[in-house]
Homo-oligomer: A and B are copies of this chain.
Amino acid sequence: MVERYEIRLSGAGGQGLVLAGVILSEAAAIFDDFYAVQTQSYGPEARGGASKAEVVIGTEPISYPKATQPDLLLALNQQSYDKYAGDTKKNGLVIIEADSVKPPASTDFRLVAIPIIDLARKKIGREVVVNMISLGIIQELTQIVNYESLEKAVLRRVPKGTEDINTRALKLGREAAKEFKEE
């Protein structure tokens, strides 16, 4: 674990990225033993339908709460990728929604493309779990939090009656990322 790890989750409003950011930071700080700060910045782009949530995880109290050079970017649509990919740390990780973002020819960062929306539709039957699949992917690829901590944090936050669908989606994301790693 490095001293400070910056994560930016980006996509469209309604994709549940704020909830994903809250869950990820609570997994890190309540169930694992880190400090975490979770931030949403809203401006005119929010009124235009964009959504962005940031999480900074650290081993010490976090002085500056914004992600300025993310170690990890999740981009669920092209607009988000175009806006944020350039900020990514060199040798950082960018996870793109495979059917929504056109991958560039070459990058300074590691690029992983997973058909998150298609997985949500076909394997869970609900597009609304795109955020949970994304969290499972992030956990598997970064190991920034423990899987068990993440699952506890999910159960703490999702509405009653949706526990099963959400934890299944989390697991699906982990499995999808594992397959990717093995490729």
Interface string of A35-49 (1 = CB under 8 A from B): 111111111001100
- Cα distance A37–B46 in the bound complex, in angstroms: 11
How far apart sit A159 and B29, CA to CA, in the bound complex (Å)?
25
Is the beta-carbon distance between A40 and B22 smaller than 8 angstroms?
Answer: yes
Q: Give the size of the chain A interface in residues (CB under 8 angstroms).
A: 25
Describe A's contact surface by its main secondary structure.
mixed
**From B18, B38, B43, B47, contact of A42 by CB (8 A):** B38
What's the least CB distance linking A162 to chain B, in Å?
8
B35, B47, B62, B66: the one contacting A30 at CB < 8 Å is: B47
Asked if A61 lies at the interface with its beta carbon under 8 angstroms from chain B, I say yes
Contacts of A13 in B (CB 8 A): 30
Contact (A65, B42) CB under 8 Å given A47-B29, A47-B30: no
CB pair B29–A43 under 8 Å, yes or no, is yes
Are B30 and A46 touching (Cβ within 8 A)? yes
Report B-chain residues with C-beta under 8 Å of the C-beta of A29: 42-43, 46-47
Cross-chain contact of A62 among B35, B37, B41, B46 (Cβ < 8 A): B41
A159 contacts which chain B residues (CB < 8 A)? 159-160
Given A25-B40, A26-B42, A43-B61, 9 additional A-B pairs, CB 8 A: A18-B22, A22-B40, A26-B46, A29-B46, A29-B47, A35-B42, A36-B41, A37-B42, A159-B160
Q: Could you show 22 A-B contacts with beta carbons less than 8 Å apart?
A: A25-B40, A25-B42, A26-B42, A26-B46, A29-B42, A29-B47, A35-B42, A35-B43, A36-B41, A36-B42, A36-B43, A37-B39, A37-B42, A38-B40, A39-B39, A39-B40, A39-B65, A41-B65, A43-B61, A65-B65, A159-B159, A159-B160
